[in-house]
Structure 1
Amino acid sequence: MPRRFAAALCVLALALAATTAARAQTFRWASQGDAQTMDPDSQNELFTNALNGQIYEFLVARDKQLGLAPALATEWKQDGPLKWTFKLRRGVKFHEGQPFTADDVVFSVNRAKEKTSQIANYASALGEPRKIDDYTVEFNLSQFDPIFLQHLNTVYIMSKAWCEQHKVTKPQDFTNKEETYAALHANGTGPWVLVSRQPDAKTVLKRNPSWWGKFEGNVQEIVYTPIKSDATRVAALISGEVDFILDPPPRDLERLRHTDGVKVIDGPENRVIFIGMDQARDELLYSSVKGKNPFKDVRVRKALYQAIDIEAIKAKLMNGQAAPTGAVVPSPLGSFNDPEIEKRLPYDLAAARKLMADAGYADGFEVTLDCPNNRYINDERICVALAGMWDKIKVKVRVNAMPKATYFPKQEKLDVSLYMLGWGGSITDPEVTFTPIYRNRGEKGVGEYNRGNFKDDELDALAAASSKEPDADKRKALIKKVFLRHNEQVHHIPLHRQFIPWAARQNVTVVHRADNWLELQWVSLK
C-alpha cells in the first residue's frame, strides 16, 4: 500500500475514532413529558425536581440506596430537639462564579417558604435558619420535626446575589402563568450547567468542570428530549436515536427485553396513584347534579371505590407492573407494611350499586374526571378504564386528559370535581404525605395537595400530632390512627403503586433508584 494512502487512512481512522468518542460522551435521553420550570421551588413534581437536581444541590444529598449523605453541608449536629447546626462546604462556587456561603442557605430556605413555593410545607418544617458565620448555619425549630434531615433534602440552594440580580427572590407563580428569569435559566452549584432550555423541545446540559464532587460516569453533555408518543419514544431507543428512556410503556417491555442492543432495568417506584374528589363545594363545577355535591356523601365515595376492578387494571393496563394498595402513601414502609392499613375495599358492584341507591343516586349522575396524559404510567388509559367501570354504577364520566403543564395549574386552582394524582419520591415516612395531602388546607403549604379541599378536623388533629411527636412508639400509634381514619372516610380512592422499569441501549450504565430519579453524574457510556 502506498505510504501516502496509508497515512490518509490513518488520519481518517483517527478522525472517525475522535468523532465516535465525542459522540459517546453525549447522553441522549427521553421520557413522555418535560420539566415544568427551572425554578426549583415553583413546582413540586418529580421530573421537574430531578432535572433541577442535576443543576442545584441540597445541604444533604441522597446516595444510591436513598440514604442521606453530605453535600453542601459537610457535617451537622442536633443540639436538643429544636436546634440543628450545619458546617458548610468551603470553596464551592455557583456556575456563574458567585461564592457559596451561609447567606445563600438562609435565603434559599426562606425563599422556599414563600406562598408561590410548592415546597413551602417542607421548608416551614425546618424552622428559622440563622447565619452564625460564612460557613455555619443554625436552624431553630418551633416544634420537633421527626424527619428534619429528609425535609432539608427538599430545599435547593440558590445564589442570593443571582436571585436579587434577576429579580427572582420569590418563586415563580406557575399556577398563574408568571414568566420569570428563573423559569428558563439556572445557576446552581451542582455537577451540570444549563446550556440551553427549550420547553417541550430540548434541554442541554454540560459537565461542570469546577464541581466540588467526583463524577463516577464519563458523560460530558446531556441532551434531553421529551417524546410524548409511546411508539415514537420506543422507536427512538431501538434505532439508537436516544440512549435511554425513563418510562417505557408496560406493554412494550417484553419486546424490549428481546430487542438486540437494548436492555430493561427493572425496579419499583415509591409512588402511589389515587383519585381525589371535590368534597367542599355545595355544587360540583363539572357535574349534572345541581344544588348539591354527591362527593360529600361517604357512601358515594365508597361506591366509586368498590366499582373499581383494580386487578383488571393491574393485569390489562399495567402488564403486572403495579402493586394495588388501600393506603394513600408512596411506599408500604410508610404504612409499616400493616395489612389493616394496606387492605383495599373489595371490588363489589352489587355493594357499590346499593351504596349509590342509599345515597339517593340510584340513577347515577354525570361528572368530569381531570387527568394528565404525560405524567404517570398509562395515566390517561387508567382514567378511561375507570370511566368504563363507573359506568356500571351509572356514573357517566367524561375523561378530560391534558398535558401536565396544563393539568397541574388547573388542579392547583381547585378547578376540578374528580381528578387523578400521584405522590412519591425518596422519603418513605408518611409525614410528607400527611401534611400536604391529608391535612385541612391552611397556611405554609399545609394541605396544599388536598385538592378535594375536604375538611376533617379529627384527621387533621391526628396528622398534626404525628408531625411533632418525639416518642417513636406513640408516633407510630398516631400514624396508624391517621391512616385508618382517612381510609374509613374514603377521602381519596387509592389505586396502586406503580413500578418503573427503565430502558436503555446496551452500552449505557445507570443507577436505578426507587424514587425514579436518574442521577446523571453516575451515567456511563461504553
Structure 2
Amino acid sequence: MKLTNTIFSGALCAALLTSAASAETLRWANVGDILTLDPYAHTESGTSSFLHHIYEPLVRRDAELKFEPALALTWEVIEPTRVRFTLREGVTFHDGAPFTSADVVASVTRLTHPDARARGNLAGVARAEAVDDYTVDLVLNAPDPLLINKLTGVFIMDEEWLVANDATLPGNTTTGVVTYASDHANGTGPFMLESRQPDARTVLTANPDWWDTPIHNLTRIEFLPINSDATRVSALLSGEVDVITPSPLQDTERLEAAEGVTPLQNPSLRTIMFGLNVARDELHGGPNGGTNPLRDVRVREALWRAIDMEAINSRVMRGKARIAGSIIAPPVPGYEAETDVKPDYDVEAAKALLAEAGYPDGFATNLDCTNDRYINDEEICLAIASMWAGIGVDVELTAQTRSNHFPKVDRGETDIYMIGWATLPAMDGFSPLSQMLATREGDYGGNNPNGYSNPRVDEITVMAASEVDNDKRIALIEEAIQIARDEIAYIPLHQQPLSWAARDNVEIIQFPDNYFRAWHYRVN
C-alpha cells in the first residue's frame, strides 16, 4: 500500500497570530478552506454554508429548517410550469445597488449555463422572466414538486456587478475556470466580504443595511482553515478561536472536561460513501488484464464485504457514526429501511467473489480521499485500504485537500473515491437520484463522474422530477435507490455525526444539514 499525502501548509501560524478580538467577533476554525467565492462554481456544501452569509436565496430555511421568505416575499403557481415570485423591495447589495427582478433573471441565466458546476441545483428550470421590477416568473420544463427546496440553495447575484466585472459567465472549480466572482463577492446577505487570504483567513463584517432584523450581535466573522485536529483543538482551548468545525471525536472527553468549552454532537444527514469508476476500460491503479474489475458487481460486493465497519466505527469514529447500507439517511424522504442493509463483513466470501469474477489474486486500484472535509476521512481510508489488502487488492491511496480532491473526482480521474452527500439543498431523496445516480447528461448526473448508468434509473429520474403526487414520487425514488443498492453503484459507509465544539460564551445552533448559520449566533 502506497500513500500520497498533501500536508497542511504553515499559513495557519500567521492566521492565528491575531490581536484579541472584540466580544462581537466570532472566530470560526474549520478543517479546510472554502473552494471559491463563486456560488455557482461548485457543489460543495461546506463552501455553500459559508457563502450563505454573503449571498441569499429567494427562499431560505429558518432555525427549524422550514421554508421562510428571504429575497422573495411570496410565490404562487400561475401555471403548472410557471411559478411567480413577488420580491422584497428596499433590499440592496453590499455595494449599494438595488435588488430587482433583473438580478434574479441574471442569476438564473448564469446558474443554468452549461458551464456552471452547480447547474443541477436548478434542474428543470428553463428560464426566469421579469414581470416588473419586483415580480419574476420561473418557467419550468415540467411541474417541479421540489422547486422551493432547490431554491434554498440558489444564491442571487447582482446583474450590474457581474456585467461590470466581466463575470456574467460562471466559474467552475472542476474545469479551473476563474472569474472576478471567484475571489470577490457582492451579495445582499447579513455579512460582507472584507478580505480573503486563501488557506489562511477570510474575514466578513456585518452588513449594516441588511433588510432583516438581526438576531445575531456579531460585527465580524474570522474564518480560519486549520487542517490539523490537534491545532484546531488547541486554538479553541487557548481561546484563540470560538468555534471549531468539526471537533475531533477522539478529543470529546478532553473537551468535556475542559473549562469554558462545550462539545456539540448530534445526528447528521450526511452519508459517507465510496464512488466506483465503472466508465474506464482499465483502472488508474495498474494493468488488470485490459479490464476494469469495478465493472463487475461481484467485485464491488467483494470490496464492500471486506470492510469491517464495526471496527471502523469503534476505533476511528469512537462509536459515534451510524453504519449505513443506503446512500441516504433515515430522516430523508425516499429512505427505506429495507434498502439500508449492508452485506455482512466476510473476508472469505469477499475472496470467493473476486475469484468468481476472475481476480483470484486481486487487482490494483487507486483510492482517493479527502484529508480536510469529513470527520476522520484520511483515517477511514487508511483503515479500509489495509482491509482491502487482506483480500489481495493493492491500493494506492491519495489523501489530499478538498480543493484538489473534488475537481479530480469530477474529471473522472479516480478509480475509487470518497464522497459525502447530505441531499442538499433539497433535503430529499431526489437529490442523490438526480445528481449521483442519473447518467451524466444535461442537468442530471452532475455528481456522477463514475459512468454508472441504468436506463430504469434515468427513466425514474425524469418521472420523479415532475411527479406532484408525493406518495408516487417517493415510491419512484425508493425504487431507484433499491436498484442502485442491488447494483452497488456506491459503497455506503456511515452517516457521520455532527461534531462541533464552542466556547461557552457563544450561543450557537447546530443544524442537521451541517450548515453554519452565524446570523442566528451570538457572542456574549
Q: Aligning the two structures, in what range does the TM-score lie when normalised by the shorter sequence?
A: over 0.9
Cα distance in 2, alignment partners of residues 337 and 484 from structure 1:
10
Is the 2:57–2:71 Cα contact (8 Å) retained in structure 1? yes
Q: Match of 2:87?
A: 88
Q: Could you tell me how far 1:140 is from its partner in structure 2?
A: 2.0
Q: Match of 1:304?
A: 303
Cα distance in 1, alignment partners of residues 334 and 489 from structure 2:
21
Q: Is residue 368 of structure 1 aligned with residue 366 of structure 2? A: yes
Report Cα offsets for 1:429-466 as digits up to 9, x if no partner: 1111111100011013x111112112221222223222
> 3-state DSSP class of the match of 1:79?
strand
Match of 1:495 among 483, 493, 496: 493
Match of 1:505 among 487, 503, 506: 503
Q: Match of 1:347?
A: 345
Q: Match of 2:230?
A: 231
Residue correspondence of structure 1 range 511-526 to structure 2 within 5 A: 511-526=509-524
Q: Match of 2:270?
A: 271
Q: Could you tell me how far 1:74 is from its partner in structure 2?
A: 0.6
Residue correspondence of structure 1 range 49-448 to structure 2 within 5 A: 49-329=48-328, 331-334=329-332, 336-424=334-422, 425=424, 427-444=426-443, 446-448=444-446
Is the 2:268–2:498 Cα contact (8 Å) retained in structure 1? yes
Q: Match of 2:466?
A: 468
Q: Could you tell me how far 1:497 is from its partner in structure 2?
A: 0.8
**Range that drifts further, 42-51 or 341-350:** 341-350
Cα distance in 2, alignment partners of residues 83 and 176 from structure 1:
33
> 3-state DSSP class of the match of 2:440?
coil
Q: Match of 1:14?
A: none
Report Cα offsets for 1:288-312 as digits up to 9, x if no partner: 3141110111100010011111111
Residue correspondence of structure 1 range 12-31 to structure 2 within 5 A: 23-31=22-30
Gap runs ≥5 in structure 2: 1-18
**Range that drifts further, 473-482 or 56-65:** 473-482
> 3-state DSSP class of the match of 1:270?
coil
AA of the residue aligned to 2:450: G
Cα distance in 2, alignment partners of residues 183 and 127 from structure 1:
25
How high is the TM-score relative to the length of structure 1?
0.94
> 3-state DSSP class of the match of 1:334?
coil
| Deviant stretches of 4+, over 3 Å | none
Q: Match of 1:483?
A: 481
Identity of matched residues, %: 41
> 3-state DSSP class of the match of 2:182?
helix
Cα distance in 2, alignment partners of residues 335 and 55 from structure 1:
29
Report Cα offsets for 1:215-253 as digits up to 9, x if no partner: 112111111111111000000000000011010111111
Is the 2:321–2:497 Cα contact (8 Å) retained in structure 1? yes
Is the 1:55–1:193 Cα contact (8 Å) retained in structure 2? yes
Is the 1:335–1:341 Cα contact (8 Å) retained in structure 2? no
Q: Match of 1:7?
A: none
Is the 2:335–2:429 Cα contact (8 Å) retained in structure 1? no
Is the 1:202–1:225 Cα contact (8 Å) retained in structure 2? yes
Report Cα offsets for 1:361-399 as digits up to 9, x if no partner: 110011110111101111111111110111121111111
Cα distance in 2, alignment partners of residues 216 and 368 from structure 1:
48
> 3-state DSSP class of the match of 2:460?
helix
Q: Could you tell me how far 1:25 is from its partner in structure 2?
A: 1.3
> 3-state DSSP class of the match of 2:270?
strand
Cα distance in 2, alignment partners of residues 174 and 426 from structure 1:
19
Q: Could you tell me how far 1:80 is from its partner in structure 2?
A: 4.2
Q: Could you tell me how far 1:473 is from its partner in structure 2?
A: 2.4
Cα distance in 2, alignment partners of residues 244 and 323 from structure 1:
24
Is the 1:283–1:291 Cα contact (8 Å) retained in structure 2? yes
Cα distance in 2, alignment partners of residues 175 and 472 from structure 1:
34
> 3-state DSSP class of the match of 1:176?
coil
Computing the radius of gyration from Cα coordinates, the structure with the larger value is 1
How high is the TM-score relative to the length of structure 2?
0.94
Count of aligned positions: 505
Q: Could you tell me how far 1:115 is from its partner in structure 2?
A: 2.5
Cα distance in 2, alignment partners of residues 338 and 430 from structure 1:
10
Q: Match of 1:16?
A: none
